Structures are given as structure tokens and as C-alpha cells.
Chain A
Amino acid sequence: MSPSALLQVQDMRLGLADGTALVDGVSWSLAAGQTLAVVGESGSGKSLSAMALMGLLPPAVRWLGGQAHFEGQALRDLSERDYRQIQGRRIGMIFQEPMTSLNPVMRIGDQLVEVLRCHLPLSARAARDRAVELLASVQIPQPEQRISHYPHQMSGGQRQRVMIAMALACDPALLLADEPTTALDVTVQADILQLLREQQQRRALGVLLITHDLGVVSQVADHVVVMYAGQVMEQGPVAQVLSQPAHPYTQGLLRARPSGKLARSERLHEIAGMVAAPTRERLGCPFAARCASALPQCAREQPPVVRPAPERLAACWLVSQGAAP
């Protein structure tokens, strides 16, 4: 385990009581001041792995194997009580839907004060002042007045800013963002992503970003982990992975987006088929059935994890043979 890692996941396996794995052997690490993006579509297990780190797994899902460490502390068997020390205080979390993450019947200021006083020994007055400061730091105009507004009086973008303020209220070391811009308009997305970047630099935060959008990844992330059906297909520095993807799945994802470079008369590159339901046994590479470059052994044997470049990893038979897919 690397000593400087803020958050480290080792061979994480999550699944149901009968042994069906929903997240199957995921490993990555995040250093302070870095942004790691976990990218995947439905069924990839990306959100579930984030929930496991926060201690928020649904009742039916449990750890089947592996471990995770945050600031050196093992997370897997942490009690609820110990988790409460971390949630909000050392790890802040923001979700996709700002309207349902904020209490609609409480004023913004009251919600911020509640988070502050829950974790920090502040008086009501001090907490209120701190709340105003926080709103200002996320660029909400006229924070002194906004503090007594209700969530419905603010736009989606502003509510997300409030969410970010709440997540950062107690100066956490790690920020976990689950699809933070998916529900926002494109013009607002850019602003929110920039805000995240600024906060990260100012506070030397580690940021774990869960998303399905490769465009978002390219804008804010340093490293990316590409997941499919509960397993890691490829990971590495964003610039390298997105410009020269090694794994056929990553390539397919990149090509499937209607980019400005594609002529309108051409067909979009499809990835045929759809995500298979999770099964009890692991049979080879989960992407094999949909992969245009699949080799005979792909469906039978688990692909090895290889290094196409010093900081990159890919789980693929094709890549292991040195052939370009």
C-alpha cells in the first residue's frame, strides 16, 4: 500500500448474500490533491463501490472480499458509529439530484449550520458566520440574504453549489461526487466543474468523481478508472487513456459519442448488445460477448492485468498480446 494514498481500494468485491458479485475485484488508489474519476454505465458497479466507501450500502448488498483504506483506516468492517465520525467530517459527499439531497422544508442556512455544529464545536453565531463564508466561497451571490432561502427558491446550479458547500463545510480530506453535473444544464455544468477544480486546488482535496460522462472526465479528472459489469477494464492518467485507449470497451465508449468530427452521413459506432445480468460465476472477460475484437479465450478465461504503459493498467487478452485492438 502506497504511504501517500489518501484512499485505497484493494480487490473490492461487493455482492448479494448468495454470492452474486456486483463489484468484482476492483483496485485503485487516490492521492491527496488528485481527482480520480470512476467511469461506467448502468450495471458497472461504480456507484455501489462509492457507497461502500461511505458505509452507505443498501441492505441487500455486502462486502464479499477485499478491503479499502482511508487515511490508513480500514473501512470494510467499520461500525456505523465510527463511520459517523468520518461521514461529513473527513469525507464529504455530493449527489446527483440537488433537490432531493437538500431538505426542502429547511432553510439553506439552517442546513449548513446543522452540518457544522454536528461535527465542529461551534456556537450558533459562529456557525452562522461560517455558513455565510461557505456560501461566498462557492460563489453564491449575496450570501447574507441567501442564507435564509429555501432550496426551491434557488436554481439547480445554485442548489448544487450549496451541496458542495455543505460537503466541504468541515474541511474534509476527500470529496466524493456521484454524478454531480448530470442533472444540470450544460452551461451550468462547466461552472460547477470549475468550482470543484478551484476548491480542490485551494484545499488540496482528494476528489473521487463517479460519472458516466467521458466529457466530464476529460475536463476535471487526473486519473480515470473504466468499469464494466463490476470489473475494471482499464485505468490510468486521463490524458493517455482518452487519447490512446488500450481496452476495446474504452475505445467503443469514445467512438460511440456523436462528436463534432463525425460527418453526419456516417453511422455512429455502436457497441452491439447490452450489459448482461450479474451471474454467480465469473466466466472470462465480462465484455467478451460485445467485443468486436474478442479472442477465443476471452469468454473462457479471466484476462490478465497488464501494463500498456508505466502508469496504466488494462485487463484484456488482446492488450496482453501486444496487439492493437
Chain B
Amino acid sequence: MTMAAALEAQDLRFAYPGTEGRLAVDGVSLHIAPGQTLGLVGESGCGKSTVARLACGLLAPSQGQVRVSGLDASVRSRAHRLPLARAVQMVFQDPYGSLNPRQRIGAQLAEALRLHGPEGASLAAQVGQWLERVGLQPGVAGRYPHELSGGQRQRVAIARAVAVQPRLLVCDEPVSALDVSVQAQILNLLRDLQASLGLACLFISHDLRVVRYMAERIAVMQHGRIVELADTDRLWSAPEHPYTRQLLASLPPDL
């Protein structure tokens, strides 16, 4: 029996309330097989963050359907909640907003592990293990988010997401708010985790170079639509759509 696709989206359409029906996402279809990474690039306002939220089920599409590992992402009934959490998780852009400022790091990780961790194992031990896995000292568990740097907070956010061991990880601009020297650390970490946990990944960024590094296939978005979807190497060497060519041409030269 073939495993269900990590992400299967058909002809998605979505308009934000109060925008008079202007489609932020206009007929987007995506397919990600288990273990694969799809990159999604585009400039501000193209709808890529909206696609990220549709993929997780945080937003419900006005038309079309999103299925993660076979489950309908927008259904959040009590029965669906936990299986859906194991199907898809998200890493957000802003390391400052993605953690509860009034809860200790360890407690926040424990929330995820309480719901999804193995039965019988000590929560504290698991928290320590996941912190180490993302390159943090176990002592970080006792601290509050405002005591950590942006890079450290992003590691915690990643730990929280992958501790659930989801089949699909949606990364919405996970390194855009970080310093360059830290970006490399986080990107390496994401790749390592992906390899060791077998995660599929939807990697969203405005930075083509970063997406090229992280993804095997790239989808280019403009004005709510996917204008080109191809294997990374082919897209890089022989882009077909004029917008893709424009994006590539605007990149500062390699140093």
C-alpha cells in the first residue's frame, strides 16, 4: 500500500475576510511525497504565507481541499486534533512571537511532549533530549524566551515542532529574521533533522538561494498563483517563466 502524500492540495482558493473577495491564493495545487522538500518562493504579497497556513489547516480554503497524510487539514474536531498534529507542524518566521513569553522553555516543550511523547517516559528527560537534539543546553529548559537570542528561540520553536514527529514540516521564512551567521546554523539543523526523522518539508522563503539549498523542487508564486514548478537544478539553470527569470536576475552576484 502506498503511503499517503505528505501534502496534497488541489486547486486551492482563499480570500481574506474584508478584502472584497480578492483572492490571496488563486488556484494553487501542490503535491509533496513523504520525505521530500518542496520550496515555495515569491515576493511579499504573493500568497506564500497564506499557502503555509492553508497547508497546516490554520486557515480553511474557500475552495479546494488540503490533505496531509490523507487527513483533511481544515477539520479540527476533537477526534482529528491529535492525528492532524502528527501529520503537519509549522515553524514560524518570527522567533519572538512563536513562543509564549510567560512560560518557561521546558514547560512549552512539555506541552507538545505530553500530547505526543511516548507513554511512561519522563517529561523532563524528553525535554532535555530534544533540547540537545537542536543544539541547546538542557539548562535552557528553566529559562524564559526573553532570555534567549533569536537563534536560540528559533531552535526551541523547531524542537517543539519536530518533537511531535510530524510527517510534514511547514517552514514559513524560518531564518529571515535571523543574522546571517545564525542562519547557516539553523538551515543545517533543519536539514539534519529532516534526514534523521524522515520529514517532508514545505519550505517557504523570499530568498531564492536559501530555497535552492533546502529543496529538491521549487514552486514560484506570483499574485496568488504558481507560475512555475520544477526540479531545483532545472529551475536554476533554465527558468522558463519570465517572472522566474526576473527573480534570478535580481539576485546579487555570488561572492
What's the least CB distance linking A8 to chain B, in Å?
Answer: 28
Additional A-B contacts beyond A185-B43, A214-B255, A252-B181 (11; CB < 8 A): A41-B180, A214-B180, A256-B180, A258-B209, A258-B212, A258-B213, A259-B209, A270-B188, A271-B181, A274-B149, A274-B182
Interface residue stretch chosen among B17-25, B65-73, B158-166, B246-254: B246-254
- Whole-angstrom distance between the Cβ of B113 and the nearest chain A Cβ: 26
- Is the Cβ of A264 less than 8 Å from the Cβ of B232? yes
CB neighbours of A262 from chain B (8 A): 213
Q: List 25 A-B contacts (CB under 8 A).
A: A41-B180, A186-B206, A186-B207, A186-B208, A187-B246, A187-B247, A213-B180, A215-B251, A218-B252, A219-B252, A219-B253, A242-B255, A253-B180, A256-B183, A257-B209, A258-B209, A258-B210, A258-B213, A259-B209, A259-B254, A264-B213, A270-B181, A271-B181, A274-B151, A274-B182
Sorting the interface of chain B by its residue count into under 10, 10 to 19, 20 to 34 or 35 or more gives 20 to 34
A51 contacts partner chain B, Cβ-Cβ < 8 Å: no
* Residue A212 interfacial (CB < 8 Å): yes
A79 to chain B, nearest CB (A): 36
The reply to whether the CB of A189 lies closer than 8 angstroms to some CB of chain B is yes
Check: A282 CB closer than 8 A to any chain B CB: no
Q: How far is the CA of A262 from the CA of B184 in the complex (A)?
A: 13
**A195: interface (CB < 8 Å):** no
Q: Nearest CB to that of A242 among chain B residues?
A: B255
Check A190 against B250 for contact (C-beta < 8 Å). Answer: yes
Partner of B255, one of A254, A264, A271, A275: A254
Cα-based distance from A105 to B43 in the complex (angstroms): 27
Q: Is B44 an interface residue (CB 8 A)?
A: yes
Which one of B43, B44, B213, B250 has the highest number of Cβ atoms from chain A below 10 Å of its Cβ? B213
Interface flags, A141-163, vs B, CB<8A=1, else 0: 00000000000000010000000
Closest A residue to B208 by beta carbon equals A186
3 tightest A-B contacts by CB? A215-B252, A41-B179, A258-B213
Compute how far the CA of A264 lies from the CA of B194 in the bound complex, rounded to whole angstroms. Answer: 14
A271 to B210, CA, bound (A): 17
Quick one: given A254-B255, A275-B149, are A186 and B181 in contact (CB under 8 Å)?
no
Residues of B within 8 Å of A216, CB to CB, are 252
In the complex, which residues of chain A have a beta carbon less than 8 angstroms from the beta carbon of B239? none
Q: Please report the C-alpha to C-alpha distance between residue A190 and residue B43 in the assembled complex, in whole angstroms.
A: 14
- How far does the alpha carbon of A32 sit from the alpha carbon of B235 in the complex, in Å? 43
B window 203-255: CB within 8 A of A: 206-210, 212-213, 232, 236, 246-247, 250-255
Contact A186 to B180, CB < 8 A, known contacts A215-B255, A219-B252, A274-B152: no
> Which of chain B's residues 121-169 have a Cβ closer than 8 Å to chain A?
149-152
Q: Which residues of chain B are near A125, meaning CB under 8 Å?
A: none
Asked if A283 is at the interface (CB within 8 A of a chain B CB), the reply is: no
Report how far A256 CA is from B175 CA in the complex, Å.
13
Q: Are B181 and A256 within 8 A (Cβ)?
A: yes
Of A186, A242, A259, A260, most B-chain CB atoms within 10 Å: A186
Q: Which of A216, A218, A259, A274 has most chain B Cβ within 10 Å?
A: A274
A266 vs B218: C-alpha distance when bound (angstroms): 19
Q: Flag whether A81 is at the interface (Cβ < 8 A).
A: no
Cβ contact within 8 Å between B187 and A268? yes
Complex Cα–Cα for A24 and B203 (A): 39
| B255-A218 in contact (CB<8A) | yes
A257–B247 CB distance below 8 A: no
Complexed CA–CA distance, A218 and B253 (Å): 8
Interface positions of A from 231 to 252, Cβ below 8 Å from B: 242-243, 252
Which B-chain residue is minimally distant from A268 (CB atoms)? B184
A270 touches B209 (CB 8 A): no
Q: Is A202 interfacial (CB 8 A cutoff)?
A: no
Tell me if A260 and B181 are in contact (CB < 8 A). no
> How far apart sit A258 and B151, CA to CA, in the bound complex (Å)?
17
The answer to whether B250 touches A156, judged by C-beta atoms less than 8 angstroms apart, is: no
Closest-by-CB residue of A relative to B253 is A218
Within A171-191, the residues touching B (CB, 8 Å) are 185-187, 189-190
A256–B209 CB distance below 8 A: no
Residues of B within 8 A of A243 (CB): 255
Set of chain B residues within 8 Å of A219, measured between Cβ atoms = 252-253
Instruction: Tell me the bound Cα distance from A257 to B254 in angstroms.
Output: 9
Question: What residues of A have a CB within 8 angstroms of the CB of B210 in the complex?
Answer: 258
A189–B252 CA distance with the chains assembled, in angstroms? 10
Cβ contact within 8 Å between A212 and B252: no
A42, CB-defined interface residue at 8 Å: yes
What are the interface flags for B42-85 relative to A under an 8 Å C-beta threshold, 1 for contact and 0 otherwise?
01100000000000000000000000000000000000000000
A contact residues around B43 at 8 Å (CB):
185-187
A82 to B120, CA, bound (A): 70
> Is A259 a contact of B188 with CB atoms below 8 Å?
no
Considering the chains assembled together, what is the distance between the CA atoms of A258 and B180 in angstroms?
Answer: 10
